[in-house]
């Protein structure tokens, strides 16, 4: 019943809402400099960061990122009530953003603002996003009553712009759907997540993913990961082999891939062939073998047809 009501509501409201957001976003000035400046201040002087983020909401009122970060700064100042308007607005603009929903749930429950609503949202989110790190964070943070402590559990979002689709060469980034379509490879990638999981849980996470109206998500194989490697780029320490201007939130780390280790590659893995998996290192564009029980980063993909 709840899901049907939401779908019906969005089917009526979303087309008009998104057209307005797109038009407004095109008129917004570049506010990335504000985010960088405030991001440097939020830990030490959150009140000053809040002032800057407040200006970004004035300059671009349809940026969910701006409203989220303003709410986070207000929390670090020490007020659930002052954080509420910002996170409410961010959630209205980007209801599919799990980090935004997580912070909204936390403010509602930990701030004793609407415990029933927050609890209901958290319960439903646990079903929709099983084993999700952001929702686990909301569950833990909701037990706290100190807004500053809650605020320090969350990180700023510096690249989320709700309702936007951005062309970046061969890539089309939709922050609304949290997807990146690659016209060259014919693959669609999950834009960002905070997942750091054992192999079996990573596989389950991708298979249960629902983004952009698509369900056929999975862990990539080596060949698919190699399509992300920038041609001619040489490996450098802590530098991505993928396009960092497109995937700004992606860590330069090892990601699980679906390829199985060969018997030869298993000589240094003590846990045995059946309990080991393969990874792709995005700092060196090379594969490696690790125990499946060792958490690694997750980057889901699907084939566009």
Do 207 and 281 lie in one domain? The reply is yes
Do 38 and 145 lie in one domain? The reply is yes
Do 65 and 126 lie in one domain? The reply is yes
- The pLDDT score that the predictor gives to residue 133 is 78
Q: Is there a contact between 99 and 131 (Cβ–Cβ < 8 Å)?
A: no
The most confident of 34-38, 186-190, 234-238, 269-273, by mean pLDDT = 186-190
Evaluate whether residue 291 is within a structural domain.
yes
- 150 versus 33: which is more confidently predicted? 150
Structural domain boundaries, residue 132 = 9-153
- The pLDDT score that the predictor gives to residue 129 is 73
Distance CA 175, CA 9 (A): 21
Evaluate whether residue 166 is within a structural domain.
no
The residue from 134, 153, 172 where one domain ends is 153
Evaluate whether residue 167 is within a structural domain.
no
- Could you give the number of structural domains in the chain? 2
CATH number at residue 228: 3.10.100.10
Do 134 and 231 lie in one domain? The reply is no
Distance CA 73, CA 151 (A): 8
Distance CA 15, CA 208 (A): 26
Do 116 and 27 lie in one domain? The reply is yes
Whether the predicted model's global pTM rises above the 0.75 cut: no
CATH number at residue 23: 1.25.40.10
């Amino acid at each position: 019943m709840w899901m049907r009501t939401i779908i019906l509501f969005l089917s009526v409201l979303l087309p008009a809402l998104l057209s307005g957001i797109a038009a407004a976003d095109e008129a917004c000035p570049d506010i990335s400099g504000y985010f960088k400046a405030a991001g440097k201040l939020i830990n030490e002087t959150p009140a000053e960061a809040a002032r800057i983020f407040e200006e970004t909401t004035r300059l671009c009122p349809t940026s969910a990122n701006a409203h989220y970060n303003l709410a986070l700064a207000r929390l670090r100042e020490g007020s659930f009530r002052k954080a509420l308007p910002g996170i409410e607005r961010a959630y209205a603009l980007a209801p599919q953003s799990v980090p935004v929903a997580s912070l909204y749930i936390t403010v509602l429950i930990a701030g004793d603002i609407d415990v029933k609503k927050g609890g209901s949202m958290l319960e439903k989110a646990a079903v929709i996003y099983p084993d999700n790190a952001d929702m686990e964070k909301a569950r833990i943070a909701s037990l706290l009553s100190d807004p500053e402590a809650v605020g320090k559990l969350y990180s700023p979002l510096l690249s989320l712009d709700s309702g936007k689709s951005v062309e970046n060469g061969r890539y089309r980034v939709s922050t609304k759907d949290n997807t990146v379509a690659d016209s060259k490879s014919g693959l669609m990638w999950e834009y960002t997540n905070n997942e750091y999981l054992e192999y079996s849980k990573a596989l389950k996470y991708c298979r249960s993913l629902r983004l952009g109206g698509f369900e056929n998500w999975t862990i990539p194989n080596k060949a698919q990961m190699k399509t992300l490697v920038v041609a001619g780029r040489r490996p450098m320490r802590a530098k991505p082999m993928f396009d960092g201007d497109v995937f700004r939130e992606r860590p330069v780390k090892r990601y699980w891939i679906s390829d199985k280790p060969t018997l030869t590659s298993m000589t240094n893995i003590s846990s045995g062939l059946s309990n080991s998996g393969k990874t792709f290192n995005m700092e060196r564009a090379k594969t490696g073998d690790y125990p499946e029980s060792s958490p690694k980063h997750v980057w889901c993909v699907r084939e566009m047809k």
